[in-house]
Structure 1
């Protein structure tokens, strides 16, 4: 890992010598009419042996409930050490554009997408990403980062002959890196509200810590140009989390703010996930879920609305302390 990556969560944190490591960037796209959504996930996996190490690009279609995984040699992965720019084969990913050119026996994907006015996550030397000071802890199982909370799109993507027009659409970028995904988590994201420029992301997960574990949260809300941040390390308390069915309810409190989330999970498709660096796990993600969000500041209702075309995952059973 370069020194630059230590202080900037956008950048690549691995190298060819690091074993049992994964890193992936999540790009989500929704068309202007909110009828078609898809995500691509470029990344790398360095498992216990060099023969297992590879780079990959996963593809998830929300409208079709389909997914796929394109495997590339590890050496096909290239990243810039000073700014976020990743290439895998003929594919390019950055905060300016995404270029896709993938093909296998079942799927052919070709497209050029321009990213317009991204709201990049603020990077500070003392807080290089959404995890704040926890970004510097060397033994975390999984690290999370947000790259762009919200941006507009131009361009189009062709998937097996179907053209997806993204002009005027909305996009979002985040990432994960480390060894494995948590034992249990809820993750959700949407920036498709009635009020343009509004974006919401929430993650509640079981965090291993010094031989024990706790349930922690990361949450971000972009509204009218202001970024609200909520996290366990900032004093946020998880009052409620219920992910036992298709309805997912979460309540958080942090100082004067109370966040109520009522999400409806729709059917999705399967993605592969990291287990000790090896991409051998499987999870289900929906891109067509709905998130009803209500945020109070003291007794004042700051925001209430429903986000559509939401990404949503609910894995395992989360437990809160009594």
Structure 2
């Protein structure tokens, strides 16, 4: 890992060509009418040998409930060492634009997307990303980063003959890197609320730590231009997590703030996920779920609204301490 990547979660962390390592950036797109959504995930996977190493781009369609994976040689992956810019053959990803040009026997995807006014996650030398001081821990199973909480879009993408008009649409970018995803987690995200410049992301996971494990959370809420952070290292307490059926309910408490989440999970499609660096796992993700959110500051209701076109995953069973 370069020194630049250590202090900036946006950048590529695998320059040392580690074994059993993965890294991927998650780009989500929703059209202005909130009728069509899709995500693309460029990344790399290195197994225990060079034969297991490759780069990839995953594609997930929300309205079609379809997914696909495009694989490329590892050498076709290129990244900038000073700013976030990733290239895989004829595909390009940054915080300014995305260029797509990929096809296989089932689907062809091509288009140019411009990213307008991204709300970039603030990077500090003592806190290079949403994980704060945990970003510097050298033995974490998985690291998480948020690149842009919210931005507007311009452009079009053609998916097997269907043109998706993204002018006036909304986008979001995050990333993961490490060895494996956790054994259990809940993740959800939406920036399609009735309120402008509003975005919400929540991740709760079982995290291995020094031979034991704990259930921790990363939560970010952008409201009226102000970014609120609710995380385990800031003292956030998970009071309740219920993932029964198609409803997911979460209650968080951090100092004077209380968050109530009631999400409805809709059907989705399968993505592949990392297991010890190799993309051999499978997860189901929806892009058409809903998140009803209430945020209190003391006894004052700071925000209430419903985010549509929400990304949502629920894997395994989370355990909270009594």
What TM-score, normalized by structure 1, do the two folds share?
Answer: 1.00
- Partner secondary structure for residue 106 of structure 1: coil
2:299 aligned residue: 299
Aligned residue runs from structure 1 range 253-272, under 5 A: 253-272=253-272
SS at match of 2:55: strand
Matching residue of 2:277? 277
Q: By how many angstroms is 1:244 displaced?
A: 2.2
Matched, 1:75 2:75: yes
Q: Match for residue 185 of structure 1?
A: 185
Equivalent residue number for residue 164 of structure 2: 164
Which residue of the partner structure matches residue 315 of structure 1?
Answer: 315
Equivalences for 1:180-219 in 2 at 5 Å? 180-219=180-219
Give me the whole-angstrom Cα distance separating, in 2, the residues matched to 1:169 and 1:21.
33
**Residues 138-177 of structure 1: matches in 2 within 5 Å?**
138-177=138-177
In structure 2, C-alpha distance between the alignment counterparts of 1:62 and 1:10, rounded to whole Å: 25
Q: Determine the C-alpha separation between the residues in 2 that align with 1:76 and 1:157.
A: 23
Consecutive unaligned residues of structure 2, counting only runs of 5 or more, are: none
Q: Check conservation: 1:186, 1:314, Cα contact below 8 A.
A: yes
Mean Cα displacement is larger for which, 244-253 or 24-33? 244-253
Distance in 2 separating the partners of 1:321 and 1:135? 24
Runs of 4 or more, structure 1, over 6 Å off, are: none
Cα deviation, residue 273, structure 1: 0.0
CA contact (8 A) 1:16 1:46 kept: no
Secondary structure of 1:121's counterpart equals coil
In the alignment of these two chains, the number of paired residues is 322
**How far apart, in 2, do the equivalents of 1:127 and 1:221 lie?**
17
C-alpha separation in 2, matches of 1:62 and 1:53: 29
Question: Does the 8 Å contact 1:22/1:178 carry over to 2?
Answer: yes
Distance 1:11 1:244 in 2: 36
In structure 2, the partner of 1:131 is 131
**SS of 1:133's equivalent?**
helix
SS at match of 1:305: strand
- Contact 2:2/2:15 (8 A) holds in 1: no
Which residue of 1 is the match for residue 248 of structure 2? 248
TM-score by length of 2: 1.00
- Would you say the 8 A contact 2:201–2:219 is kept in 1? yes
Shift of 1:187: 0.1
- Determine whether 1:19 maps to 2:19: yes
Paired with 1:239 and 1:96, the residues of 2 have a C-alpha distance of 39
Contact 1:191 1:307 in 2 (8 A): yes
RMSD: 0.5
Give the corresponding residue for 1:59.
59
Q: Distance in 1 between matches of 2:194 and 2:238?
A: 27
Structure 1 residue 16 displacement after superposition: 5.8
Q: Is the 8 A contact 1:31 1:167 kept in 2?
A: yes
Alignment match, 2:227: 227
Shift of 1:245: 1.5
CA contact (8 A) 1:179 1:274 kept: yes
Separation (CA, whole Å) in 2 of partners of 1:17 and 1:240: 40
CA shift digits 1:195-215 (9 cap, x unpaired): 010000000000000000000
Query: What's the secondary structure of 1:135's corresponding residue?
Result: helix
Counterpart in 2 of 1:97? 97
> Which residue pairs with 1:4 in the alignment?
4
Distance, in Å, in 1 between the alignment partners of 2:15 and 2:57 is 18
